[in-house]
């Protein structure tokens, strides 16, 4: 527990984590307001669809939780990196990583719940055709799981790259601007099982994929991706010189 506490203090004292928290809570609500002004009926996924871009906040938290360890202090202050402090304070690399993953998961879960509450309330207030009730709770759980898994995926990739630039650029572009995964589904239906697309089924019911995936299946497929990618990150991190 004390290691998770330490990792939570680290996140809470990082400016980029606060910006990410802002993105995660404000962006979906803003999208919900904009969407409610359009005349198009949005059907079953109203509100939940708006929560999808908020995952950017989760990605940023997943990435910076790891990349902040490797940021070089700057030549004038001696070129140190926080990772040396972390690993001399916690001798076990496995326990260090598990604590970090737990801190990321807890933080992102809280943000997902908060953001869902704000966004779904906004949606039901601004769009009379939508009513949100307790029947939607499993989908809120789905959004939360999707955000946590995405954040852990981002952390896992960053463990390998040791810099936030590549994973941040790739994940954000893929999730928000052009979905590479979605384009790939035009080539092969296997692309529906890429983590982001499979995971969407956790909370969206009207996904225009070429394959029908049940929510639980989607979650399991995404979970498997996380286990593989984070597992590779874990092994690389344990073996490599810090």
Q: Which is nearer to another protein, 78 or 133 (CB)?
A: 78
* Interface with another protein, residue 78, by CB under 8 A: yes
Helical spans, DSSP H, in 173-209: 180-185, 195-200
Which of 37, 40, 74, 134 is in the footprint of another protein by CB under 8 A? 74
Which of 49, 68, 185, 192 is in the footprint of another protein by CB under 8 A? 68
Q: Which is nearer to another protein, 74 or 133 (CB)?
A: 74
Side-chain-facing half-sphere of 211: CA atoms under 13 Å: 21
Q: Minimum distance between the CB of residue 7 and another protein, rounded to whole angstroms? A: 8
Which of 37, 39, 41, 76 is in the footprint of another protein by CB under 8 A? 76
Compose the 6-35 pattern: x for residues touching another protein by CB under 8 A, - for all others. xx-xx--xxxx-------------------
Which of 22, 34, 43, 84 is in the footprint of another protein by CB under 8 A? 84
Which range touches another protein (CB under 8 A), out of 75-83, 142-150, 196-204, 214-222? 75-83
Q: Binding residues for another protein, how many (CB under 8 A)?
A: 35
* Interface with another protein, residue 177, by CB under 8 A: no
Q: Which residues contact 82 (CB under 8 A, 6 or more apart)?
A: 68, 69, 70, 71
**8 Å CB contact between 45 and 205:** yes
* Interface with another protein, residue 102, by CB under 8 A: no
* Interface with another protein, residue 106, by CB under 8 A: no
CA distance 47 to 177: 19
Q: Which residues contact 213 (CB under 8 A, 6 or more apart)?
A: 192, 193, 198, 201, 207, 221
Q: Which residues contact 200 (CB under 8 A, 6 or more apart)?
A: 52, 146, 207, 218
**8 Å CB contact between 32 and 2:** no
* Interface with another protein, residue 208, by CB under 8 A: no
* Interface with another protein, residue 163, by CB under 8 A: no
CA distance 93 to 100: 10
Partner residues linked to 72 by β-bridges: 81
* Interface with another protein, residue 128, by CB under 8 A: no
CA distance 50 to 63: 22
* Interface with another protein, residue 168, by CB under 8 A: no
User: Footprint of another protein on this chain (CB under 8 A)?
Assistant: 2-3, 5-7, 9-10, 13-16, 68, 71, 73-74, 76-82, 84-93, 239, 241-242
């Amino acid at each position: 527990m004390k290691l998770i506490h330490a990792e939570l203090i680290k996140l809470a004292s990082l400016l980029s984590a606060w910006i990410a928290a802002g993105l995660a809570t404000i962006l979906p609500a803003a999208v919900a307001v904009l969407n409610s002004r359009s005349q198009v009926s949005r059907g079953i996924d109203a509100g939940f669809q708006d929560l999808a871009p908020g995952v950017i906040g989760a990605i940023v938290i997943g990435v910076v939780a790891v990349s902040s360890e490797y940021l070089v202090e700057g030549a004038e202050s001696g070129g140190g990196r926080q990772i040396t402090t972390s690993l001399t304070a916690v001798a076990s690399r496995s326990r260090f990583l598990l604590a970090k993953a737990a801190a990321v998961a807890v933080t992102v879960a809280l943000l997902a719940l908060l953001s869902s509450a704000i966004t779904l309330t906004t949606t039901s207030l601004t769009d009379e055709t939508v009513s949100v009730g307790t029947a939607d709770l499993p989908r809120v759980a789905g959004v939360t799981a999707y955000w946590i898994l995405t954040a852990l995926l981002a952390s896992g990739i960053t463990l390998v790259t040791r810099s936030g630039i590549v994973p941040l650029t790739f994940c954000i572009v893929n999730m928000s601007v052009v979905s590479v995964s979605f384009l790939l589904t035009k080539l092969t239906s296997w692309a529906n099982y890429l983590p982001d697309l499979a995971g969407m089924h956790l909370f969206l019911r009207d996904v225009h994929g070429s394959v029908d995936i049940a929510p639980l299946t989607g979650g399991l497929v995404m979970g498997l991706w996380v286990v593989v990618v984070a597992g590779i990150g874990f092994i690389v991190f344990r073996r490599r010189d810090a």
